[in-house]
Structure 1
Amino acid sequence: MAGLGTGEILIIALVLVALFGSRKLPDMARSVGRSLRVFKAETDRSRADDNGSRSVSGAALEEQARLLEEQAARLRAQTSKA
């Protein structure tokens, strides 16, 4: 665990108990756990949105290219008639 030994973990736990008290530590641990779950869910959703937008933008780009080709063909046809 990041190079922390048993002694260091015990010292950190004692400092936390001294700072916040033994009654508030479980509530703090729950809130940290909830925050991490929310953060993970949001990052997963963001990744899914990024992956989805790439495929949508690729399809949108293909559609735009097709529309531009059609417009170019119409313009060529109009200029050749004139």
Structure 2
Amino acid sequence: MQATSGSALRARTRGNASALRTAAMGYAFVLPAFALYLFFVIYPFFVSIYYSLTKWDGAQPVKQFVGLANYARFLSDRRLWP
């Protein structure tokens, strides 16, 4: 009885190592796609929100934080609401 439970325990351990290796391979294949998604979608999204809250001409290194003033100016523009 002891030998059976010991061998079953060892077999289960090998199964866990195999499952762990399979999961690691899955993450290894997904990681490059996730990194590209972060770089080309998520990062530009948050940077554009940051830029929209600043007064910056694109050439000077100094950015002045203006908050929602850009949006208020845009929504009160007469060209938007004829």
TM-score normalized by structure 1? Answer: 0.52
Q: Which residue of 2 aligns with 1:35?
A: 9
Q: Quote the offset at 1:80 in angstroms.
A: 4.8
Deviations 1:2-38 (A, max 9, x none): xxxxxxxxxxxxxxxxxxxxxxxxx111011100110
Structure richer in strand, relative to its length: 2
Structure richer in helix, relative to its length: 1
* Structure 2 residue corresponding to 1:50, chosen from 24, 34, 42: 24
* Structure 1 residue corresponding to 2:40, chosen from 66, 73, 76: 66
In structure 2, what is the Cα distance between the partners aligned to 1:70 and 1:80? 19
- Identity, in percent, stands at 11
Q: Quote the offset at 1:56 in angstroms.
A: 1.2
In structure 1, what is the Cα distance between the partners aligned to 2:34 and 2:2? 46
Q: Which of structures 1 and 2 has the bigger CA Rg?
A: 1
Q: Which has the higher contact order (CA 8 A, sep 6+)?
A: 2
- Give the number of equivalent residue pairs: 54
Change (3 A) 1:54 1:45: same
Letter in 1 for 2:21: R
